[in-house]
Amino acid sequence: MKNLGSLILGLIIGALIMYFFFCSGVKAMEAEIIKPKGVITAKEAMVLDRAFNSRHTLISDSIVKREDNRSAWWSLEDMRNYLNYAENQSKELGYTMDGVRVYLGAYPDTTVDSTTTVGYTTLFIAPTSSEVGLKGGAGASFRADGGDVPGGDPLNDGGDGYPPSANYPQ
C-alpha cells in the first residue's frame, strides 16, 4: 500500500510538472504581436499614393516617355531570408544590423538598334546600423536611424506593379 501511495503521488507530481512545462512552453513559443511605430491606415496610404501622382506623371512623361514603375513586391520568404542574410553579413562586417533603408533607383537605359529605352524605376533595401558612424562609416557620429552598413548587400529584384504604373492598392 505504501508503494501504491508513492506511485500515485509521483504520478500527480509528474503530471503537474508536465502541465506547467507544457503551458509555459506554449506561451514562450507564441510570438507577441507588436504594432510597429509608423504603421498607417490604408486610407492614409492612399493619400500618400495620390500625392505622388504628379511626380510620377512628371517622371513618366518627361524622362521615361512611358508609364513607369511605382512599386516593388517581395515574397515573405524572400524578405525573411534577406533580413537573416543581411543581419548575418552585417555581423561578419562588424556591425549590428538594426534596420533597413529603402531607396528609389532606376535600371540603366538600354540601347537596341539605335533605340534607347529608359529603365524602369526600382526600389532596393539596404541594411543599416547605428554603429556605422562610430566605426568611421558614412555617418559622423551615432545615428539613431542607422547608417548604411558599408559593404552590406542590398536587396533588389522585387516584382513590378501590375501594371507597373498601378496606384495603391493593387
Residue 19, C-alpha cell as written in the block: 502541465
Whether 114 shows a pLDDT value over 50: the answer reads: yes
Q: Are 53 and 103 in contact (CB under 8 A)?
A: no
Rounded to a whole number of angstroms, the distance between the first and last alpha carbons of the chain is 73
CA distances from 75 to 54, 78, 79 (A): 29, 5, 6
Beta bridge pairs of residue 128? 99, 148
Cross-sheet strand order for the sheet of 147-148: 99-106, 121-129, 147-148
Sign, CA torsion 87/89/92/95: negative
Supply the pLDDT for residue 100.
Answer: 94
Whether 167 shows a pLDDT value over 70: the answer reads: yes
* Rounded-to-integer distance, Cα 49 and Cα 1, Å: 78
Q: Which of 41-50, 63-72, 84-93, 123-132 has the lowest mean pLDDT?
A: 63-72
Q: Is 105 helix (H, G, I), strand (E, B) or coil?
A: strand
pLDDT band at 111 (very low <50, low <70, confident <90, very high): confident
Whether 51 shows a pLDDT value over 70: the answer reads: yes
Supply the pLDDT for residue 139.
Answer: 46
| Residue among 69, 146, 33, 138 at smallest CA distance from 100 | 146
Q: Which of 17-26, 87-96, 111-120 has the lowest mean pLDDT?
A: 17-26
Supply the pLDDT for residue 15.
Answer: 72
Model confidence pLDDT, tens digit, residues 81-92:
999 999 999 999
pLDDT band at 18 (very low <50, low <70, confident <90, very high): confident
Which position has the grid cell 522585387?
158
